[in-house]
Amino acid sequence: MEQAPDKESIVRALYDRYRRPLFGYVLRSVGGDYQYAEDIVQETMMRAWRDPALVEPERAGPWLFTVARNLVISGHRRRTARVSEVPIAEHEIEATDDEIGHVMQAWQVMEVLHGLSHDHREVIIELFYRRRTVTEAAKVLGIPPGTVKSRSYYALHALRAALEERGVTGS
């Protein structure tokens, strides 16, 4: 009675017979990345080891190449999914104290701006953030230009006072 080969001998036979052609195939599929190709081949062999009943060393080629191809495709999908993230260049991370100061100042201005009345905040946003003229702001807000001027005057004084209380001064 002949004994069935064990897992290790099956995988060793698969590895000996298919490693080189599989590696060549995968290497071409991943654009010449040797380390990544080796990882794909190892994972393919690992899957054959997990379930050796699926593969016979003499007829395993198509199964192994299909597994490797699927691993390459899923790896490519993972890599391209990461590309959709916004890359940050190193020089963008480094901020000078002056840049940090501007960011902190802008944050404080926005916080104080939210503390203004709705009417004053609308005028400031139209004039300074959307860069509209007094006439344009008046049309957008549906109020007379004189009201825009008056509200902006009082809103700017309120902003300045609130910022001075926080220790933020204009430079």
Instruction: Average pLDDT across each block of 10 residues of the chain; the chain has 171 residues. List them in order.
Output: 65 82 88 88 84 70 85 74 47 52 72 87 89 92 93 89 75 51
What is the structure's pLDDT at 14? 77
Read off the tokens for 94. Answer: 């480094």
How far is it, in rounded angstroms, from Cα 48 to Cα 9?
A: 12
- Considering the segment(s) 7-83 as one domain, its CATH architecture is Orthogonal Bundle (1.10)
Identify the residue whose tokens are 């054959």: 48
Give, for 70, the enclosing helix (H) or strand (E).
Answer: helix 61-83
What is the structure's pLDDT at 86? 44
How far is it, in rounded angstroms, from Cα 54 to Cα 62?
A: 12
Within the chain, all domains assigned CATH 1.10.1740 are found at 7-83
Read off the tokens for 15. Answer: 């590895």
What is the structure's pLDDT at 93? 46
154 contact partners, CB below 8 Å, separation of at least 6: 120
What is the structure's pLDDT at 147? 93
Closest listed residue to residue 69, CA positions, set 30, 126, 123, 112 = 30
What is the structure's pLDDT at 9? 78
What is the structure's pLDDT at 12? 81
Read off the tokens for 134. Answer: 């007094």
What is the structure's pLDDT at 144? 94
How far is it, in rounded angstroms, from Cα 33 to Cα 22?
A: 14
What is the structure's pLDDT at 88? 44
Model pTM score: 0.43
Residue 120 in contact with residue 158, Cβ under 8 Å?
Answer: yes
Topology annotation, domain 97-165:
Arc Repressor Mutant, subunit A (1.10.10)
CA dihedral 156, 158, 163, 169 (to 10 degrees): 50
What is the structure's pLDDT at 113? 84
